Structure 1
Amino acid sequence: MASLPKAGSTFAFMQCSSPVCSIFAELLAAPTQKLGVKLVNINSGSSSTTAQAAAASILALDPAAVLVAASNPQIYGGYLKQMADAGSVIAGGGTVGGKPYGVQDAVGGEHSDALAGSLMADWVTVNKGPGANVVFFGTPELTFSPVMQDGFAKELSKNCPSCRVGFQQLSVTTFGTTAPSQVISYLQSHPSTDTVVFASMEGATGLAAALRNAHLSPATLGFAPTASNLQDIAQGGLTAGLALDFNVQIWAQVNLAARLIAKQTTPESDLEPDMQFLSKSDLAGVDVSHGWTGYPDVAQRYAALWGLSG
């Protein structure tokens, strides 16, 4: 990188209402500290009222960079555009459709989301075969969800025309609370369903116990499993996850913001976070308490890229 952000510059994170955003907030501490910038986390809540109030408070900070996650950027009203017009760079993480609202670029954008949907459809085709009966639970608050759902539907139709699929929605407000009971209710009313797929595997938090209690055993698969989901996979309560490397995505998002400040383009390959299918056998003896990463040395890699000591 030719130049780094001014030391002490403010990087503000618009922390979305999805529980995974609290993980992102924690992970952001390391790359921003290494870059020498000040991190401010602002919880934007789940409504347009709270999101716009949070955005207004960030606008007043005049940050060098604003980091947004996969929430619909429309929820912030015109504030992201105001921030961009005021000179802040806006870098997304898993954000789709953000450019009209001021998001200049995103790590893990539309191409990655469509690919994840296709990969999960391929998993169903390979592991469940012809005749699979699938329910796909999307999450309306996450911008990547419809892209992933579309990619899943197209790929499954192409490679497994005899497979059946239904589509349902789980709000982020149900994650960790009523989502498992909603999934169980669907399975009980659709007893031929043998596979459950989640656009966000956070929707499966608590599902392993609920399935045991209901004496149900469908195959389960989801995108971006959290540490809790991975623990359930390791113990056999959930079948598999298409793991997203949260830590790499966060370092890449900070790097994207720094490059935008320096008016440098970011290669498309650097905007694609790594993903990997993980099942029980993959996690045997693995400590998943802090999630999964394909690159444990990501901090050293970015420090070298930025010309800083590791």
Structure 2
Amino acid sequence: MRGRRTRGLRSAALIAAGALALTACSSGGDSPDDAAPGDDAAGGADVAAAEEFLAPWLGEGDKGLLIDEPLDAPVEEGTHVVYLDVGTPVSAVMWQNLQAPAELLGLRLERVEVGRDAQSINSALNTVVELAPDGVINITLDPIFFEPQIAQLDEAGIPIASGSVMNTVEYGLPEAFNGPEWMTTNGGVLAAAAVVRSGGASEYVFYNVPEFPFSALELEGAQDKLAELCPDCTLRVVDIPIAELGSTAADRVVSDLQANPATEYFMAAVDEVQIGLPQKLGLAGLDVDGIAMWTAPPNYEQIAAGEQDATLSVDLNLMMWTVLDQLLREMGDQSYEWPDVQTRAATLTRITDQSNAPEDPVLGYVAIDDYQDLFAANWLAD
């Protein structure tokens, strides 16, 4: 069992609150030999600026629903909603997170597994068209794979609400609250957190999942923020295929870190790459910490045990209730408007480490304690 080595943090507030292809990118030359990591005057990472940037993501202050106004009319009992399941562990968590609001509203919630290749996706979406539901929820599936079915569903008056889909507007779908700007913003949070939690390291790696369009945007945000905070830092990029999530992703991380011993801290687009990773790092004699987002229950268990350094928690319950809320408004042809991107990002995400790990790893991070009551009131269900 690998015990996490606590790195020097400069912010007491943060402590309390909170491969097949390799591409290297570095915007500057080597630091002077006598310059310690994090020494801003010597051209190292600006830890203080990173701490200031992270303030909205420490989980402090009051938060509210992203859309806080009632529906025009109550939801009819038996309303049929289909959930597209892409087959990842986090997708399974999100399906479970829909059960409570479905029960509250009396929805008929149906799960359709879409598979991971074009033929399977096409077949699954043809099934959805045949089911003729009242609405569809899509988490992460790129609309490019089911454009014909989008047209068919639109013709039938069946709306689609999306989460973590980056190109909804281009395909005539409603804008997702956590679209491109949301992802790049949180990518910047990953980079800033890496700088702070590593104590101002200079050698980083980002584990990218190319099949997820949002992963590239998280990477973009991390690259931009790291270049701002540390022009002389190096950020390598390593691709981890989606098929390895839940299986050999941790092995790929270990192999990469063994091949690149100068790496001081890592970031990842999805926290599933860290499931089981602490034990494998320990067996390999490696002691490199990291942070990612899209946290699954095993990640929270590792964090609580002091085995995983940190995560950028997403309140997956609030996310799914919010996506459902959008779908209900689309089904009722009711107008709404999302708040600014920082409000959206900071409302649903928070830096989590051992000091504030949730007691219930399945429930995970809860951003708004009374969110269920607030949604029930807006849905005219109380």
Please give the range of the TM-score, normalised by the shorter of the 2 chains.
Answer: over 0.9
Give SS of 2:307's match.
coil
The answer on whether the counterparts of 1:91 and 1:256 sit within 8 Å (CA) in structure 2 is yes
Q: Does 1:113 align with 2:186?
A: no
Highest Rg: 1 or 2?
2
Q: Give the match for residue 256 of structure 1.
A: 326
Q: Quote the Cα distance in structure 2 between the aligned partners of 1:180 and 1:132.
A: 23
Give SS of 2:193's match.
helix
The answer on whether the counterparts of 1:94 and 1:108 sit within 8 Å (CA) in structure 2 is yes
C-alpha distance after superposition, 1:62-103 (max 9, x if no partner): 111110001222222421232122210110011111233343
Q: Which of 178, 188, 192 lines up with 2:258 in the alignment?
A: 188
Any residues of structure 2 matched to 1:22-171 within 5 Å, and which?
Answer: 22-171=92-241
Any residues of structure 2 matched to 1:260-271 within 5 Å, and which?
Answer: 260-269=330-339
Q: Quote the Cα distance in structure 1 between the aligned partners of 2:255 and 2:156.
A: 49
Aligned residue type for 1:16: V
1:49 Cα offset (Å): 1.1
Q: Give the match for residue 6 of structure 1.
A: 76
Aligned alpha-carbon RMSD (Å): 1.7
Give SS of 2:235's match.
strand
Q: Quote the Cα distance in structure 2 between the aligned partners of 1:268 and 1:10.
A: 25
Aligned residue type for 1:122: A
Q: Quote the Cα distance in structure 1 between the aligned partners of 2:131 and 2:74.
A: 20
Q: Give the match for residue 355 of structure 2.
A: 281
Q: Give the match for residue 237 of structure 1.
A: 307
Q: Quote the Cα distance in structure 2 between the aligned partners of 1:150 and 1:302.
A: 33
Aligned residue type for 2:81: F
User: Larger relative CO (CA 8 A, sep 6+): 1 or 2?
Assistant: 2
The answer on whether the counterparts of 2:194 and 2:290 sit within 8 Å (CA) in structure 1 is no
Q: Quote the Cα distance in structure 1 between the aligned partners of 2:170 and 2:77.
A: 30
Q: Quote the Cα distance in structure 1 between the aligned partners of 2:199 and 2:272.
A: 26
Give SS of 2:336's match.
coil
Give me the TM-score of the superposition, normalised by structure 2.
0.77
1:174 Cα offset (Å): 0.8
C-alpha distance after superposition, 1:29-79 (max 9, x if no partner): 111222232111101111111111111111011111110001222222421
Query: Alignment length, in residue pairs?
Result: 308
Q: Quote the Cα distance in structure 2 between the aligned partners of 1:268 and 1:289.
A: 28
Q: Which of 194, 204, 207 lines up with 2:274 in the alignment?
A: 204
Distance of aligned partners of 1:271 and 1:85 in 2 relative to their CA distance in 1, 3 Å threshold: farther
Q: What is the identity percentage for the equivalent residue pairs of Structure 1 and Structure 2?
A: 24
> More displaced, 105-114 or 45-54?
105-114
Q: Quote the Cα distance in structure 1 between the aligned partners of 2:181 and 2:75.
A: 28
**Structure number with higher strand proportion:** 1
Aligned residue type for 1:7: E
Q: Give the match for residue 298 of structure 1.
A: 371
Structure 1's unaligned 5+ residue stretches are: none
Distance of aligned partners of 1:15 and 1:271 in 2 relative to their CA distance in 1, 3 Å threshold: farther
> More displaced, 3-12 or 202-211?
3-12
Give SS of 1:4's match.
coil
